[in-house]
Amino acid sequence: MSGNGRLPEAATPVRRILALGGHEFSSRPPDRAVCELLLRLAGERGGARPRICILPTASGDTSEQISSFYAAFGERPCEPSDVSLFRLGRRPLALRDHLLSQDLIYVGGGSLLNLLAVWEAHDIASILSLAWRQGIVLAGQSAGAMCWFEAGITKSSGKPLAAAGLGLLSGSLCVHYNNEPERRAAYLDAVADGMPSGYGLDDYAGLLWEGEGNPSSLTARRGARAYRVSSREGEVLESPLPVRFLPAPAPAALREDIAEFRRITGMRKRAGWLG
């Protein structure tokens, strides 16, 4: 069954995952560009008011992460929600039904180790894998990006160490590539030591998988890069990928003014004031 009955029954829905090297839900232009992309991806599946759900598990469900998500999406054309596994006591929820009714599931950053441990305890991994196969977009940054791969480099225990992910995507991912040299160094060592090859993502760089084949790379901040990292005969190769730049949309206030301007222009046109 496809999402919400809004799409025609497709034989095999396109499986989509968006992995981001790092971003926040702030009003800064690159963060707005990321939100816009998430809205677009969700809208391609869910129409005018797609359902977008955040899983803030990796942070321990901090109010900070949850409220910044709502601040970013609350006023936009979508239905935002959160599944906070640590807060279910006060807000019971049919986990499986809720997650499988989404158009996009966004996983926040934090501890990759804890994320996977808590998901396993609540049996979330199988639901996410099913969501992916049903065409629900999976997205996330930092731990929320590495979790989809076979392996990543996490600082969940303090210093950067290799850790396993869910393995929906083959290969590995290292996030915050430009900002955390020690994480990048640990990744290069791990790949040299046999970790499956993969990708390095700077903050604001992302990789989008749509169906089979290679991902497309994109960036919400000029200069942020995505790298293909592989090992050949004991030597680790790091090659930058061509990235598409996502321009930031106008901020909310400006957007409203533009809409108002267009409305007025339209009225004037209809009234025959303009040529």
Partner 1 sequence: METAPRQIVAFGGGGFSMESGNPLLDDYVLGLAKAERPRVCFLPSASGDADHYIVRFYRAFSAHRCEPSHISLFRREQGPSDLRRHLLSQDLIYVGGGSVVSLLGVWRAHGIDSILREAWESGVILCGLSAGSLCWFAEAVTGFHGEAKRLRGMGLLPFSNCVHYERGGERRDAYHRFLREGMCGGYAAEDGAALHFVGEELNRVVASRPQARGYRLDVAGRRVVEMQIATTYLGDREAPPAAPLPEALSTAPAPAAG
Q: Does 61 bind partner 1 (CB under 8 A)?
A: yes
Are 144 and 165 contacting, i.e. CB atoms less than 8 angstroms apart? no
Binding pattern to partner 1, positions 4-43, x when CB under 8 A?
A: ----------------------------------------
Q: Does 126 bind partner 1 (CB under 8 A)?
A: no
Query: Is 27 tagged catalytic?
Result: no
Are 79 and 64 contacting, i.e. CB atoms less than 8 angstroms apart? no
Candidate list 5, 8, 92, 213; residue touching partner 1; CB under 8 A: 92
Minimum Å gap between C-beta 157 and partner 1 is 5
Backbone angles phi, psi at 217, to 5 degrees: -105, 145
The two beta strands, 79-82 and 51-55, are parallel
Minimum Å gap between C-beta 119 and partner 1 is 8
Closer residue to partner 1 in complex, CB, 1/121? 121
Applying the rule CB under 8 A, the residues between 141 and 200 that interact with partner 1 are: 155-158
Count the site residues for partner 1 by CB under 8 A.
Answer: 25
Report the SS3 class of residue 190: helix
Q: CA–CA separation, 256 vs 120, rounded Å?
A: 43
Query: Is 142 tagged catalytic?
Result: yes
Minimum Å gap between C-beta 34 and partner 1 is 23
Q: CA–CA separation, 25 vs 32, rounded Å?
A: 8
Q: CA–CA separation, 138 vs 53, rounded Å?
A: 10
In sequence order, the 6+-apart residues with CB closer than 8 A to the CB of 203 are 21, 22, 23, 176, 178, 179, 221, 224
Backbone angles phi, psi at 92, to 5 degrees: -60, 150
Q: Which residue of the set 23, 59, 84, 176 is catalytic? A: 176
Q: CA–CA separation, 53 vs 5, rounded Å?
A: 18
Candidate list 52, 107, 116, 208; residue touching partner 1; CB under 8 A: 116
Candidate list 100, 107, 118, 218; residue touching partner 1; CB under 8 A: 118
Closer residue to partner 1 in complex, CB, 86/261? 86
Q: Which residues are part of the catalytic machinery? A: 142, 176
Q: Which residues contact partner 1 by CB under 8 A?
A: 58-62, 85-89, 92, 110-111, 113-114, 116-118, 120-122, 155-158
